[in-house]
Amino acid sequence: MNRGVAIVSFPGSNGDRDAVDAFAESIGVATRLVDYREESLDGFEAVVLPGGFSYGDYLRTGAIARFAPVMTAVQQFALTGGPVLGICNGFQILTEAHLLPGAILPNRDLRFHSEWVHIRVETGETAWSSAAADGEVLTMPVAHGMGNYFADPEILATLEHENRVVFRYCDADGHLTEQANINGSMHAIAGICNQKRNVVGLMPHPERAADPLLGSPDGLRILNAVTSFVGRLV
Amino acid sequence: MSASIWRVDIVVLPKDGVSDPQGEAVKSGLGLLGISGVDRIRVGRHLEVDVAAADEAAARSIATTMSEKLLANLVIEQFRIDSIRALQPTGRQL
């Protein structure tokens, strides 16, 4: 059974319905909200962990969501090569679950950043960046207080060597500047992938830039990749 | 064997070398307050956990497991168990 895209709702998720709209309305693929208490993702072809403040961000962002019942199925789905996208809090959950390396620290300036940013596509060779071109600059919003990507030097070197930095914060022309790196992330990292390249996490919100009416359709340059593993509804 | 309730104090701090924006902010606040001579501040978390265990070693082992698996993210944080003390016997049989 082809069930399309599973969007996981945790207590405190707030980007889940935005993600449903983007996939179902803007792209036109089968999409279903999956409750965090569900234990199976059978039949789904892609999984999205949306943005928000799961479990109130208590302890650390994503730390408790990692143990939600659905996460065992997410782990299994990811380890068997299924495409998993973590957006914002979803990215934080993926690092806490060790599906992606490193961790996310409070923003360098301690401010909550809710603004439009530019990110540069560093590699189209992942499950979730295959619809975009290398070097392409995308405009979309961020909304986070903890987005400051951290990894120890060894992991950073591995990420760079294996071309697993998927997105970096940049200026409108695609240049990496200190100012464009809004949260102080190491190597201006806005998104990374795992070694198999099927799991991608990023801090910016492509689902909130999925229509010109929302200010930018650039998020679709990322989300459209879903059509390579989920058929469009006719 | 009867179990006791043990109060365990666990301290979680950013690892050395990991930037601590909160610590930096508090340090600059102290500067604004006119308190000088502060060389370094690391902001972390102190957890007070009451746990039923047969003895102190068992309580320490439970506290270590919970710290490693959830209370601290060992990628960016370190933890230490500051103290363990018996509160009162529960009377329950383990």
Confirm whether A234 is domain-assigned.
no
- B22, A106 in Cβ contact below 8 A? yes
Domain count, chain A: 1
Q: What is the mean pLDDT of residues B7-25?
A: 95
B37-93: per-residue pLDDT in tens?
Answer: 999 999 999 999 999 999 999 999 999 999 999 999 999 999 999 999 999 765 555
Confirm whether A134 is domain-assigned.
yes
Query: What is d(CA A57, CA A219) in angstroms, rounded to the nearest whole number?
Result: 25
Which domain CATH number covers B78? 3.30.1280.10
Confirm whether A233 is domain-assigned.
no
pLDDT score at B91: 54
pLDDT score at A123: 98
- A28, A231 in Cβ contact below 8 A? no
Q: Is B76 on the interface with A (CB under 8 A)?
A: yes
A-B Cβ pairs (cutoff 8 Å, strict)? 38
Residue A76's H or E segment, with its range, is helix A70-79
For residue B74, the chain A residue with the least C-alpha distance is A103
pLDDT score at B92: 56
pLDDT score at A231: 85
Which domain CATH number covers A89? 3.40.50.880
Confirm whether A65 is domain-assigned.
yes
> Distances from the Cα of A152 to the Cαs of A149, A188, B17, in angstroms?
10, 14, 9
Q: Which domain holds residue B63?
A: 2-93
Catalytic residue list contains A88: yes
Length reported for chain A: 234
Residue A150 has its nearest CB partner, among B18, B25, B45, at B18
Residue A123's closest CA among A176, A155, A165? A165
Query: What is d(CA A164, CA A174) in angstroms, rounded to the nearest whole number?
Result: 18
pLDDT score at B3: 82
- A91, A100 in Cβ contact below 8 A? yes
pLDDT, mean over chain B? 92
Confirm whether A74 is domain-assigned.
yes
Chain A contact probe: residue of B75, B77, B78, B79 with most A CBs at under 10 A? B75
Confirm whether A35 is domain-assigned.
yes
Q: What is the mean pLDDT of residues B22-29?
A: 93
pLDDT score at A233: 79
Q: A17 by DSSP, 3-state: which?
A: helix
- A233, A28 in Cβ contact below 8 A? yes
Phi–psi pair at A91, nearest 5 degrees: -65, -45
Confirm whether A41 is domain-assigned.
yes
Query: What is d(CA A126, CA B3) in angstroms, rounded to the nearest whole number?
Result: 53
Confirm whether A79 is domain-assigned.
yes
Q: Which domain holds residue A171?
A: 4-228
pLDDT score at A70: 97
pLDDT score at A5: 97
- Show the low-confidence residues of chain A (pLDDT under 50): none
Query: What is d(CA A46, CA A229) in angstroms, rounded to the nearest whole number?
Result: 7
Query: What is d(CA A91, CA A204) in angstroms, rounded to the nearest whole number?
Result: 10
Domain count, chain B: 1
Query: What is d(CA A231, CA A228) in angstroms, rounded to the nearest whole number?
Result: 7
pLDDT score at A83: 98
